[in-house]
Every structure is written in structure tokens, then in C-alpha cells.
A and B are shown apart, each in its own frame.
Chain A
Amino acid sequence: SQTIHQWPATLVQPVGSPLSLECTVEGTSNPNLYWYRQAAGRGLQLLFYSVGIGQISSEVPQNLSASRPQDRQFILSSKKLLLSDSGFYLCAGGLWGNNSPLHFGNGTRLTVT
């Protein structure tokens, strides 16, 4: 079965500092990978998704970016964090096109101070 690994679990960063969150997938090949953010009262907002190495689709224009350097690795980055970037970031993976569910990692709680 598929397992999504995310780290770190919590992170406190000052405004203007860079960000790198990593997600890796175990148990499947060529998954679709997703970054979601849960902000207070906002539900799960889709930020980026990737259907393959080097292929990134952005859903929300912002100062975040994503990269997929390897099949089972998905990275969320920022060059300069804003206060509004605080939230709970979730990586998910799935084999789409077959009506199968996404599996989520345990998330990273990011606080920008």
C-alpha cells in the first residue's frame, strides 16, 4: 500500500526566510502528487499537483513553488516567506484516472513569525 512521508512535522520560520518542505512516496510508482494547505476556516486548498517528474501545475498564484526532481519526491519551496504562508501543509499521492482515493501524509505545521 502507498505511504506518504512528510517532514518536518512542525516548523517556525521568520518572515523573509526560505522554505523547503519535502514529501516522499513509498509503495507505488508514477503517482500523482499534490500539495494542499489547510488554513484556519479555509478547508483544504490545492496548491500544486504533479503527474510526473518535472511536471508541475499551479492552482494558486503566490510566492510558493513546487518541484518534482524524482518520481516519488515532491518539494514545496519559497524564497521568502510571508506571514500569510502560515498553515498546515499536506502532501498527498494517488493513482488518478482510476477513481482511486488520495493518501495523505501527516502534514507540516508552518508558523511564520
Chain B
Amino acid sequence: DQQVKQNSPSLSVQEGRISILNCDYTNSMFDYFLWYKKYPAEGPTFLISISSIKDKNEDGRFTVFLNKSAKHLSLHIVPSQPGDSAVYFCAASMNRDDKIIFGKGTRLHILP
């Protein structure tokens, strides 16, 4: 049973435009959500997170939006840059649990 779902395996976006990566979750007990970026043959690097008490968190070009009623979160990257081409993983956890559950990832291609 997949608790964190990233339904788009890949996404192509023109350089300079906005990239929107989506993530859905099924467990209403999740209260902390994270986005990671991963290049080939490297470990994922943390990008941005959001607690369930918020609906938006912004850090430079990256903004994460959380819609608890829809159990949906999204990562917005604007403007998109060539170095943003990577696999993006959504992850979720419960504060009192030690497990962090990841989605399958979305490969983002930034087109010149």
C-alpha cells in the first residue's frame, strides 16, 4: 500500500518557466512533509519541508504548498533552471514515528 504517491514519473518544463511537482498521500496522520532532489549516483539532498500546521513554505525559488483536506502537496520551482533537472522525491512522516516514507519520484527535465 503506497502511502505517498507521485503519479507523474516525468515532467518537462522550459527554462525560466514554473515547474510544478505534485504529491498525494493517504495517511491523514502524516504531519511533516519534505521534498528531496536527487542526481544520478548521488544521495538525495533536502530541499524544503512543511509542517501540517502551515499551508505554504517558501525558500528562494522553491515553494511547497500543502492542502490537508485533499491530502495533496506540491513543489513549485520558479524560475526553472537547467541545474534543476533531477529526480524529485516527496516524503512524509508522523512526528511521533521514526519512519519517513518516500514516493517513487518525478524526473524533471528543464528544456533550454
Contact = CB atoms under 8 A, between A and B. Distances in A.
Contacts of B103: 43
B48 to A, nearest CB: 9
Give the secondary structure class of A's interface. Answer: strand
B45 A97 contact: no
A112 interface: no
Contacts of B102: 36, 43-46
Contact of A103 (B6, B46, B49, B89): B46
Interface size class on chain A is: 20 to 34
Nearest to B97: A96
A109 B100 contact: no
Interface string A60-101: 000000000000000000000000000010101010110101
Interface stretch (B36-44, B60-68, B73-81): B36-44
B100 A46 contact: yes
B41 A109 contact: yes
Contacts of B100: 34, 46, 94, 96, 102
Contacts of B44: 44, 90, 104
Given A101-B46, A102-B46, A107-B41, A43 B99 contact: no
A53 interface: no
A96 B98 contact: yes
17 contacts: A32-B98, A42-B104, A43-B89, A44-B102, A44-B105, A46-B102, A49-B98, A88-B41, A97-B96, A99-B31, A99-B32, A99-B51, A102-B34, A102-B46, A102-B100, A104-B45, A105-B43
